[in-house]
């Protein structure tokens, strides 16, 4: 492996190899149950020392993607990717299915403050303040998503307190008279997690997060909330629902 590459990229050789193998698994080149190429083969493929390959595989093992067995080989373990549904009616319960019982939502922090201009515009604030609620949802004790929710402070001054008492955003909104709402738009991006996000989502620094920034509105079009959700990309994928009753299987 080109040594200069490492210093130029800021990634240890074994990290690049680990992410390459993760890509092989995610992309289907390696399926659940498959045996990875041997350490010797990987050493030759990547042009590095066998010990460097061992570190890469160890990182994947630590993430639960593979399992090494002495004398036998290294095997791909079952997926474990949670599919989070994202559609016109985005409800966490739709994605969780029978795992909803094991799910917990919790408010980490909240404040009433002037939001960034783009968020103020999107929410069509009556005043100049919004309620910002920092939340976290876990499933089976594992962090699923870290969300920042914004509401119009004039319309929902106590939404933070209500959310603290509720099992979900939807339940909280129902208790302040919002029986239905729709997802108007969502922008999805990806980047490395910040240190705080890594800590909240139980990720190592440098892990990747999927960011979904969505605007929800009442059926009459009035903006309701803007939410920025960060998902750990190694555990969650987004399943986009393209609405409009296509009648497809």
Partner DNA sequence: ATATGTTATCTAGATCACTAGACAACTTAT
Partner DNA sequence: ATAAGTTGTCTAGTGATCTAGATAACATAT
Of the candidate spans 4-12, 149-157, 206-214, 238-246, the one that interacts with DNA by CB under 7 A turns out to be 4-12
Return the closest-CA partner of residue 216 out of 88, 93, 98, 120.
88
CB of 84 to its own copies, least distance (A): 10
- State the binding partner of 187 from DNA, its own copies, none, CB within 5 to 8 A by kind: its own copies
Helix axes 13-26, 39-46, angle to 10 degrees: 110
Q: Is the dihedral of CA 239, 185, 159, 195 positive or negative?
A: positive
* Footprint (CB under 8 A) of its own copies, residues 143-202: 182-195, 197
Closer of 97 and 244 to its own copies (Cβ): 244
169, 92 in Cβ contact below 8 A?
A: yes
Here the tokens at position 218 are 């009442």
CB of 204 to its own copies, least distance (A): 5
Of the candidate spans 10-18, 166-174, 194-202, 220-228, the one that interacts with DNA by CB under 7 A turns out to be 10-18
Q: Does 134 bind its own copies (CB under 8 A)?
A: no
CA distances from 51 to 43, 88, 126 (A): 9, 49, 61
Q: Does 91 bind its own copies (CB under 8 A)?
A: no
129: left (phi over 0), alpha (psi -120 to 50) or beta: beta
Q: Does 229 bind its own copies (CB under 8 A)?
A: no
Could you give the CA distance from residue 19 to residue 25 in angstroms, rounded to a whole number? 10
Return the closest-CA partner of residue 226 out of 137, 138, 111, 132.
132
Q: Does 77 bind its own copies (CB under 8 A)?
A: no
Q: Does 86 bind its own copies (CB under 8 A)?
A: yes
Could you give the CA distance from residue 10 to residue 119 in angstroms, rounded to a whole number? 34
CB of 192 to its own copies, least distance (A): 4
Q: Which residues bind its own copies (CB under 8 A)?
A: 5, 7-12, 14-16, 18-20, 22-24, 26-28, 31, 55, 59, 81, 83, 86-88, 116, 118-119, 182-195, 197, 204-206, 208-211, 217, 221, 228, 233-234, 237-249
Q: Which residues bind DNA (CB under 7 A)?
A: 1, 3, 6-7, 10, 12-14, 36, 38-40, 47-49, 51-52, 54-55, 57, 68-74
């Amino acid at each position: 492996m080109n040594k200069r590459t490492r210093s130029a990229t800021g990634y240890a050789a074994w990290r690049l190899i680990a992410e390459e193998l993760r890509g092989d698994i995610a992309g289907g080149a390696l399926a659940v149950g498959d045996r990875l190429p041997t350490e010797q083969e990987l050493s030759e493929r990547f042009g590095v020392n066998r010990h460097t390959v061992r570190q890469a595989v160890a990182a994947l093992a630590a993430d639960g993607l593979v399992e090494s067995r002495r004398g036998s080989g290294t095997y791909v373990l079952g997926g474990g990717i949670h599919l989070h549904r994202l559609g016109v009616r985005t409800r966490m319960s739709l994605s969780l299915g029978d795992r909803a019982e094991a799910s917990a939502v919790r408010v980490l922090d909240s404040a009433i403050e002037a939001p960034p201009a783009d968020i103020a515009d999107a929410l069509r604030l009556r005043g100049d303040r919004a309620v910002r609620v920092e939340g976290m949802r876990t499933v089976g004790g594992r962090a699923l998503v870290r969300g920042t929710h914004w509401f119009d402070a004039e319309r929902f001054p106590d939404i933070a307190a209500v959310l603290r008492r509720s099992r979900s955003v939807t339940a909280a909104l129902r208790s302040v008279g919002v029986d239905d709402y729709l997802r108007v738009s969502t922008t999805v991006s990806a980047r490395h997690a910040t240190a705080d996000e890594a800590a909240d989502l139980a990720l190592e620094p440098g892990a990747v997060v999927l960011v979904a920034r969505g605007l929800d509105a009442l059926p009459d079009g009035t903006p309701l909330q803007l939410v920025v959700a960060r998902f750990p990309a190694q555990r969650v994928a987004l399943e986009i629902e393209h609405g409009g009753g296509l009648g497809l299987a």
